Amino acid sequence: MSMNRREWMQRGATFALGVGLGGRALAAEGKRPSGSGAPAASQKFPPKFLWGAATAAHQVEGNNLNSDNWLLERAPNTMYKEPSGDACDHYHLYEQDINQLADLGFNAYRFSIEWARIEPEKGFFSRAELEHYRRMLEVCHKRGLTPLVTYSHFTLPRWFAYQGAWENPESVDLFARYCEKSTAYLGDLIAYAATFNEPDIPYLFHWISFPGAPTGMDLAGIMAAQEAALRQQLNAPQFSSFLIGDAEKSRENMMSAHTKAKSAIKSTRNIPVGFTLAMEDDQPEGPDNHCAKKQADVYGPWLNLAKQDDFIGVQTYTRSRIAAKAIPPPIGAELTQMGYEFYPESLEHTVRLAAKETGVPVIVTENGVATQDDTRRVEYIRRALAGVKRCVDDGIDVRGYIHWSLLDNFEWIFGYTPKFGLITVDRETQKRTVKPSAIMLGKIAKANSL
Ligand code: BGC
């Protein structure tokens, strides 16, 4: 690895303004006219900039039988549109997929290892499954791809869910043990470790409006109702899961779990550790808006925690205009398949915010758009990258851009309908077809320049 923590902190500290999450600073950020500054001197990105695509185990591997999600997707009255099934069979086809990414010109791959496979029963660690992820890492290295590994991307072992998931204080030690065992087996091949993917999502649910939801119920309410129903159906009074659990209890344990897992990882192998954060580009609407409140509520504690880390992963897809609550996209705005606004400028704004609030290097660990029209993905990527370049030109320490996603995959409750991939997957034959956006982004990656 070419970086050490002190070097990162020193560079990052230059940009830390030492201010808390404040409405006015953020309001200015949100309103910042993108692309209005002087033209950038060069279109080049810094040397060793990471260019990659991302996946998450459950969304692409298929047959994640021991995970909590497998149950959730099949429960009566499930909120999932369809079950994940074979997904993209990336579990078997990973070599072909990683080779494709390298052939396109990329130099990084972000993926997650699946706790439900590695520890399918409490205390039993499967050497065979660890060996599987080792083989994936080896292919990355063979093809010159820097591997960024997420240890927990939403899904959990079933047994962990049955004992209350993150609501149970024992989760802290159990997660740290899993991270330690995995690092002992895989750590020599991991370049960047993220403990959690988007641990702030349950809080974000309070602020997201969900078309078609029962009146007065936010997404968090819907999730809580699912948890209650599942407990009854499974006759499991403690059953909980990341997306449907008690957000408050879970956050406290997850924050401790991150800290404990980080030292477990680092004492096993000194690799850069952080987590990735779900961020919307929050823009205040009206004088009595709750923009600052939302930011303090959703990101505040995590941004604060990230100050101790080696990097922060920024993940963003759209903006959110906030009055008392989030308001719908402007009339006539282009919408993505997810129902939210096509707004690539959100990336520049959230990168600036994360860098300013944490003072640590930023890696864009997810950014993308759900669309059937690949020309819109091309447009989205170009505009998002122009924003990243402006951040770099302003001296912000951005280390990479990892696109979501490598493949069209299982988009959680929305099933296989939304198309986020750079590559399409025929789910009958598992045949992959590269989209023009993949070729375009691969060329940028190869040139390290826009
Ligand atoms: C998650 C991914 C998801 C993507 C697109 C992120 O919130 O990390 O798992 O597929 O957004 O919605």
From residue 268, how far is each of 74, 187, 262, 263, 406 by CA, in Å?
A: 38, 8, 10, 8, 30
Residues 129 and 145: their CA atoms lie apart, in Å, by 21
Structure-block tokens of residue 216: 């007065």
Residue 35 reports pLDDT greater than 60: no
Q: At what angle do helices 23-31 and 291-298 cross, to 10 degrees?
A: 100
Which of 213-217, 233-237, 261-265 bottoms out in mean pLDDT, i.e. has the lowest? 213-217
The predicted model scores a pTM of: 0.91
- Asked if residue 405 has a cis previous peptide bond (ω within 30° of 0), the answer is yes
pLDDT in the model for residue 211 = 60
- The pLDDT-based confidence of 218 (bands split at 50, 70, 90) is confident
Residue with CA nearest ligand 1 atom 10: 411
- The pLDDT-based confidence of 213 (bands split at 50, 70, 90) is low
Nearest Cα residue to 224 out of 201, 207, 241: 241
- Residues 331-349, mean pLDDT to the nearest whole number: 97
Work out whether the CA dihedral 207, 410, 421, 397 comes out positive or negative. positive
Helix (H, G, I), strand (E, B) or coil at 359: coil
Q: Which residues pair with 281 in a beta bridge?
A: 319
Which of 35-44, 205-214, 288-297, 324-333 bottoms out in mean pLDDT, i.e. has the lowest? 35-44
Among the atoms of ligand 1, which is closest to the Cα of residue 412?
10
The tens digit of pLDDT for each residue in 278-306 reads: 999 999 999 999 999 999 999 999 999 99
pLDDT in the model for residue 226 = 87
- When the pLDDT of each residue in the chain is averaged and rounded to a whole number, the result is 90
Q: How far is the CA of 10 from the centre of ligand 1 (A)?
A: 31
Q: Which residue has the higher pLDDT, 205 or 334?
A: 334
SS3 sequence, 376-432? Answer: HHHHHHHHHHHHHHHHHHCCCCEEEEEEECCECCCCHHHCCCCCCCCEEECCCCCCE
- Residues 395-410, mean pLDDT to the nearest whole number: 98
Q: How far is the CA of 56 from the centre of ligand 1 (A)?
A: 9
Q: Which residue has the higher pLDDT, 219 or 388?
A: 388
The tens digit of pLDDT for each residue in 105-143 reads: 999 999 999 999 999 999 999 999 999 999 999 999 999
The residues, any chain, with a CB within 8 Å of residue 257's CB and separated by 6 or more, are 166, 171, 172, 175, 176, 195, 196
Q: Would the CB of 411 count as within 6 Å of ligand 1?
A: yes
E strand segments, 35-138: 50-54, 108-112
- Residues 203-207, mean pLDDT to the nearest whole number: 91
- Residues 149-165, mean pLDDT to the nearest whole number: 98
pLDDT in the model for residue 131 = 98
Q: Would the CB of 278 count as within 6 Å of ligand 1?
A: yes
Among the atoms of ligand 1, which is closest to the Cα of residue 278?
7
Q: Would the CB of 8 count as within 6 Å of ligand 1?
A: no
Among the atoms of ligand 1, which is closest to the Cα of residue 201?
7
**Residue given tokens 């919307």 in the structure block:** 280
pLDDT in the model for residue 224 = 86
- The pLDDT-based confidence of 212 (bands split at 50, 70, 90) is low
Q: Would the CB of 198 count as within 6 Å of ligand 1?
A: yes
